[in-house]
Amino acid sequence: MGSGDDTLGSVASSRVVLVADAHLGDASPSLEAAFHAFLDAVPDLGDELLINGDLFDFWFEYRSVVPRRHFGTVVRLMELRRRGVPITLVGGNHDRWGGDFLRRDLGISFYGGEAELTLAGRRAFVAHGDGLTEQRRSAKLLHRLTRHPVTIGLFRAIHPDVGFWIADKLSGHLADNNGHATRDRAALAQAEYARSLFTRRPELSLVILAHTHRPALDCLPGGRAYVNPGAWVDGFRYAVITKSEVELKTFEP
């Protein structure tokens, strides 16, 4: 099922709000403000929040340092948890390096790779999508390199100011599906991957991916569905999952 953490979790809810690819830190101040308004509105939109990767354009968790540029978002995530809304974050190719701060201090269920969850009573396979259907060999190599424990350990040894400078320089390379044609091919490959996974895993009701910035909703017999909510950064896109349906939506700040 692709590389990453194959983790089984449970999310009990009736309406799950799904969002991906906000790329905060690289997005404009107006887009970030709109995302903060979205977080404030989540309790009116659903019961739970699932963020499927690349919430941040770069996130790396040090033992005693929190990225300053994401402080405003962190505060709003904490406030959302205090309002009783469960949050699950599945890391993407820009922000898979989370850990104890997200889990313990914020109370977020964090998965560095793919996960299997129960969403609105439905069995779901959730992955950001990087490394599953890459269109270039260089992207596959980058995917393996950035997940390797040695790479992570070496990066953690660098001063955070230097580390984030390096990450800013490499951000475009982490976005390994750049280009309209490449993303279109990746979107088609994701749909094929989902259909194949449904064939191999008849117990699954949902396959949830992101990464391509291409919204997709493929409803199959038996109430099964493949969904990619599209990118928040491209038009404030999100989705809502219930027991009986999935809807692609656009947020209006």
pLDDT at 216: 97
Residue 88 lies in a domain: yes
The answer to whether the Cα torsion of 76, 79, 80, 86 is positive or negative is positive
pLDDT of residue 219: 94
For 240, half-sphere exposure in the C-beta direction (CA atoms, 13 angstrom radius) is: 14
**Domain for residue 1, yes or no?**
no
What is residue 177's predicted lDDT score, i.e. its pLDDT? Answer: 52
The number of domains in the chain is 1
Q: Give the residue carrying structure tokens 């820009």.
A: 94
How far is C-alpha 223 from the geometric centre of its chain's CA atoms? 23
Q: Which range marks the domain in which residue 80 is found?
A: 7-250
pLDDT band at 3 (very low <50, low <70, confident <90, very high): very low
Give the residue, 156 or 97, on which the prediction is more confident: 97
Encode pLDDT of 127-153 as tens digits. Answer: 998 877 665 565 566 666 667 677 767
**Residue 2 within a domain:** no
Task: Write phi, then psi, for 220 (nearest 5 degrees).
Answer: -115, 165
User: Is pLDDT above 80 for 2?
Assistant: no
The answer to whether the beta carbons of residues 216 and 226 sit under 8 Å apart is yes
What CATH number corresponds to the domain at position 197?
3.60.21.10
CB 229 within 8 A of CB 248: yes
pLDDT for 103 equals 93
pLDDT at 132: 77
Alpha helices, DSSP H, located in 13-159? 29-45, 71-82, 100, 137-147, 149-156
Is 90 part of a structural domain of the chain? yes
| Biggest CA-to-CA distance, the chain | 52
Strands 216-220, 224-228: pairing is antiparallel
Residue 15 lies inside a defined structural domain of this protein: yes
pLDDT (tens digit, 9 = 90+) per residue, 216-236?
A: 999 999 999 999 999 999 999
Q: How confident is the model at residue 6 (pLDDT cuts 50, 70, 90)?
A: very low
pLDDT tens-digit series, residues 191-221: 999 999 999 999 999 999 999 999 999 999 9
- Mean pLDDT (the chain, rounded): 85
pLDDT of residue 10: 42
For residue 163, is pLDDT > 80? Answer: no
- Residue 67 CA neighbour count, 13 Å, CB half: 23
Indicate whether 104 belongs to any domain.
Answer: yes
Q: What are residue 67's DSSP bridge partners?
A: none
In the chain, what percentage of residues exceed pLDDT 90? 58
Contact 86, 48 (CB under 8 A): yes
- What backbone phi and psi angles, to 5 degrees, belong to 30? -65, -40
Asked whether residue 63 is domain-assigned, the answer is yes
Per-residue pLDDT, 5 = 40
Q: How far, rounded to the nearest angstrom, does the alpha carbon of residue 26 sit from its chain's CA centroid? A: 16
Which pLDDT belongs to residue 141? Answer: 61
Torsion (CA) 186, 192, 194, 199 in degrees, nearest 10: -160
pLDDT in tens, 80-133: 999 999 999 999 988 888 888 999 999 999 998 899 999 999 999 999 988 776
Using DSSP's 3-state secondary structure scheme, residue 54 falls into coil
Q: Evaluate if residue 36 carries a pLDDT over 50.
A: yes
Establish if 216 belongs to a structural domain. Answer: yes
